[in-house]
Structure 1
Amino acid sequence: MSNDILAGCRVYVVEDNYLLALSVSEFLESAGAEVLGVTGKLAEAQRYVAEHDDRIDAVLLDVNLRSEMSYPLADQLVALDIPFLFTTGYDAAAIDARFGDHPVCSKPFVPATLWEMVSAICTRH
């Protein structure tokens, strides 16, 4: 995709599948986003967000990180008012109900859908 709709949007990617994280990062950058970083570890993501919350416009958050649910990070993002969307290979209905107002992008990704969802949360921030 060669579009700059995400120009200026700073995105942090939390995904434990390295190849998928790389692919998503390249996709976001091709749409003009700045990918601030990528991690597949919950604790590392929590530290990064705590230290850089003022730089982050949006987070792509895998629900399950190496068999560890990412809800503690989702709670942190809510508290910091950082928009995020969940990514998951599971049914969206399986996500904790308290996060029901956050968008969910199902894996495998449909590129246009992911692009639209990231654009929507970056625009709000």
Structure 2
Amino acid sequence: MEEAAHSGSRRPANLRVLVVEDEGLVALLLEDMLHDLGMLVAGIANRVDQALGLIEKGGIDAAILDVNLSGERSYPVADALRVKGVPYVFATGYGAAALEENYASDRVIPKPYSSSDIAAALADMTT
């Protein structure tokens, strides 16, 4: 994938990112951050079933998953992404310690996150 420079760091250009987030304002903020970073939003889902449908359609290079989606955990989404070989990062205000054991070694971005946190996580998981 083509690389582009941004603020002294390297990141994939035009990365198609799935956003799985149940808070509308947070999803919109993340969408804006991704656009500002030169990324494309492959889709936004606020429920597990929506996210699974988007994954099935394909066209996703990476994903950012809120762990808690209105009381439902996003682990089935992570599992589907793993099967397809799509890298992802969890976003949570509870920290990595709150993840179930099967996901304890997965990448985590603590909430609230910044644009630079998102850029670093995406660069780390796609390079």
Structure 2 counterpart of 1:37, one-letter code: G
Partner SS state of residue 11, structure 2:
coil
Specify every segment of 5 or more residues in structure 1 that has no aligned partner in the other structure, as ranges: none
Offset at residue 101 of structure 1 (A): 3.0
Task: Count residues with an aligned counterpart.
Answer: 120
Structure 2 counterpart of 1:42, one-letter code: V
Offset at residue 119 of structure 1 (A): 1.7
Aligned to 1:68, which of 66, 72, 75?
72
State how far apart, in whole Å, the 2-side matches of 1:15 and 1:122 are: 21
Aligned to 1:30, which of 36, 40, 59?
36
Offset at residue 110 of structure 1 (A): 3.0
TM-score (normalizing by structure 1):
0.88
The answer (yes or no) to whether the contact 2:46–2:69 under 8 Å persists in 1 is yes
| Percentage of matched positions with identical amino acids | 35
State how far apart, in whole Å, the 1-side matches of 2:65 and 2:88 are: 7
The answer (yes or no) to whether the contact 1:5–1:32 under 8 Å persists in 2 is no
The answer (yes or no) to whether the contact 1:46–1:73 under 8 Å persists in 2 is yes
State how far apart, in whole Å, the 2-side matches of 1:111 and 1:47 are: 27
Offset at residue 13 of structure 1 (A): 0.4
User: Per-residue displacement from partner, 1:78-120 (whole Å, max 9, x unpaired)?
Assistant: 1111100000111211101212332100101133222101122
The answer to which structure has the higher strand fraction is 2
Aligned to 1:16, which of 5, 19, 22?
22
Aligned to 1:45: 51
State how far apart, in whole Å, the 2-side matches of 1:75 and 1:116 are: 23
State how far apart, in whole Å, the 1-side matches of 2:119 and 2:113 are: 10
TM-score (normalizing by structure 2):
0.87
State how far apart, in whole Å, the 2-side matches of 1:5 and 1:43 are: 30
State how far apart, in whole Å, the 1-side matches of 2:27 and 2:35 are: 12
Structure 1 counterpart of 2:83, one-letter code: A
Question: 4+ runs of 1 displaced by more than 4 Å?
Answer: none
User: What pairs with 1:85-100 in structure 2 (closer than 5 Å)?
Assistant: 85-100=89-104
